[in-house]
Copies of this chain bind each other. A is one copy, B any other.
Amino acid sequence: MSEEVKMIPGNSLITSTPEEGRQLAVKMARLVIKVTQPDAEIREKLRPEYAEDPAMLIAVGQVVATEFATIAAANNYWRK
């Protein structure tokens, strides 16, 4: 497999805080879309379509919630 890291920034699920874990979840959700649609111009054209469509905004929220569940488990929920 390619050595070049493309889909998980830092190539790790471990973060210092829940907030950073949440930011990672958002990035991971976006990077899958980038891999599926690599043409930046098309992605730019699609952005207003989903960012102004409430059903799609909710669907983005669902993906982020799912990614975050994995990241939170990886970090033992940042329990002290």
The interface of chain A, by Cβ under 8 A from chain B, is: 1-2, 5-8, 11-14, 17-20, 22-23, 26, 28-29, 32-33, 35-37, 42, 46, 49-70, 72-74, 77-79
Q: What B residues does A5 contact at CB under 8 A?
A: 19
30 A-B pairs, CB-CB below 8 angstroms? Answer: A7-B26, A8-B22, A11-B18, A11-B19, A12-B78, A13-B78, A26-B32, A29-B61, A32-B60, A32-B61, A32-B64, A32-B65, A33-B60, A36-B61, A37-B57, A42-B51, A42-B52, A46-B57, A50-B54, A50-B55, A50-B58, A58-B63, A62-B62, A62-B63, A62-B66, A66-B66, A67-B68, A69-B69, A69-B70, A74-B79
